[in-house]
Amino acid sequence: MTAPTPPRLSGCIIARDEADRIERAVRSLAFCDEVVVLDSGSTDGTVEKAEALGARVLRTDWPGHVAQKNRALDASAGEWVLSIDADEWVTPELSAEILAFVATPTASSASMPRRNHWLGHELSHGRWYPDRRVRLARRAGARWTGDDPHDRLENGAVSALHADLHHAPYRTLGEHLATIDRYTATAARSVRPGLAIVDLLVRPTWAFFRAYILELGFRDGAPGLVVAALGAIYVLVKYGRAHGIIPTPITPSRDGAAA
């Protein structure tokens, strides 16, 4: 009897309470040989929806972004692994490019531009585009690294794909502000504070100027202005917490999505 052919490409998603978005993410990975979802405690039907679409769902705790994505790598069976978050989706153009790449790879990993949507507005400039991320890698030798919540996938040489990975991280402005609160609480723990005047005045100002002026965020109109300002607020709060000016929660946040 002939042994089954092992999957060539695994699609991975980490999630928690993403019932309104998990179907779009899983369906966009239909071109993969398997889809693996690591769920860290959903109570809203995320697991059931993913399983109904044929995904293999593993229930886990939440050890942090880097550790959770490495768990997803370890749980995958494919020679290649494509990792997305529950608030992301792969277009037909990107899936065709990925399949062509894994058929005749030119490197051990590949990056792709990420097309961000902010409250219904598609952004094309600033810090939000092209927002290139390495999300595809040969599983052997690949690891997620970085400081939570800002993770990155590494496995040697990187080729650049051209089609967009789409990303809609926030449902509401309130959710965006809450994410800033959570992520800065985590990020501040890995920051070594310098001079307060630099960290609290220069860094946020530079973040805004870079995103809005140098990286042409102004070309996205009012949404570009708002997201550049929110990016500066993120930097201000992170360093405010690093300096002990803004309290940092003792208990790390639980989150199934990436930055």
What DSSP string runs through 198-212? IIIIIHHHHHHHIII
In this prediction, residue 255 carries a pLDDT of: 54
| 119-157 per-position pLDDT tens digit | 999 999 999 999 999 999 999 999 999 988 889 999 999
Among 107, 78, 92, 104, residue whose Cα is nearest residue 9: 78
Residue 82: the pLDDT is: 98
pLDDT given at position 2: 60
pLDDT at 189: 87
Q: Which of 192, 208, 189, 204 is nearest to 237 (CA)?
A: 204
Tens-digit pLDDT profile for residues 93-107: 999 999 999 999 999
Cα separation, 252 vs 247, in Å, equals 13
pLDDT at 258: 39
pLDDT for residue 29: 98
- Specify the 3-state DSSP secondary structure of 246: coil
What's at 16, amino acid-wise? R
Query: What's the rounded Cα separation, in Å, for the pair 139 and 153?
Result: 11
Identify the pLDDT of residue 257.
Answer: 47
β-bridge mates for residue 245, sequence order: none
Q: Tell me, what's the pLDDT at 190?
A: 85
Q: What is the pLDDT of residue 259?
A: 39
pLDDT at 211: 97
Residue 26 parent element (H or E): helix 22-28
Mark the ranges of the chain whose per-residue pLDDT is less than 50: 252-253, 257-259
Contact 29, 13 (CB under 8 A): yes
The residues near 150 (Cβ < 8 Å, ≥ 6 apart) are 65, 187, 259
Residue of 52, 27, 23, 57 lying closest to 40 (CA atoms): 57
Q: Domains in the chain, ordered, with CATH?
A: 9-167 (3.90.550.10), 173-242 (no CATH)
